[in-house]
Amino acid sequence: MRPKLNYDRAATLRRTETAAERLLWHHLRGRRVQMFKFRRQQPIGPYTVDFFCPEGKLIVELDGGHHNEDEEASRDDERTRFLTSAGYRVVCFWNNEVRENLEGVLISIEQELATTPHPNPLPQGERE
């Protein structure tokens, strides 16, 4: 039996996003990063991930200080194992990294996507 996706939880998380999530979403939305589409607060299996790029099979997670605690870190590891076993790549950043080094975070995301075929390649004959 497939796990139930929790779309109500995802909607609630979108309404109560952190300042770091709001800032990063501003730069990911509308295919602003190498023309890849991102979704925010996307249910995948039993989890709701912060940002998801279906074309790149990339998940971006933002974590606050409470994720340093043993129990929360253990849940994060479990989530990452589940997502990677399902074929996704997961990158995690701290909220303060987004606030203090947004450009570096975006470069890291671009580098992850660089290993993925472009979602909108040029038609045959228009390539260099």
The answer to whether residue 106 is domain-embedded is yes
- Give a yes or no: residue 1 inside a domain: no
pLDDT at 1 over 50: no
CA distance 104 to 100: 9
Supply the pLDDT for residue 115: 86
The yes-or-no verdict on residue 79 having pLDDT over 90 is yes
Q: What is the pLDDT of residues 22-78, one digit of tens each?
A: 999 999 999 999 999 999 999 999 999 999 999 999 999 999 865 456 777 889 999
Q: Residue 119: inside a domain, yes or no? A: no
Q: Are 19 and 98 in contact (CB under 8 A)?
A: no
- Domain residues for the domain of 80 are 7-113
Q: Say how far apart CA 61 and CA 94 lie, in whole Å.
A: 8
120 within a domain of the structure (yes/no): no
* Whole-number Å distance between alpha carbons of 80 and 84: 6
Q: Report if residue 30 sits inside a domain.
A: yes
Q: Do the domain assignments include residue 125?
A: no
pLDDT at residue 124, as a whole number: 61
Average pLDDT, the chain: 85
Cβ neighbours around 113 below 10 Å, total: 20
- The domain tally of the chain equals 1
For residue 2, being part of any structural domain is answered with no
Report the CATH number that the domain containing residue 71 is assigned in CATH: 3.40.960.10
Position 73 scores a pLDDT of 82
How many C-beta atoms lie closer than 10 Å to residue 58's C-beta?
Answer: 21
Write down how long the chain is.
128
pTM recorded for the entire structure: 0.79
| Confidence at residue 67, expressed as pLDDT on a 0 to 100 scale | 47
Asked if residue 123 is part of any domain, the answer here is no
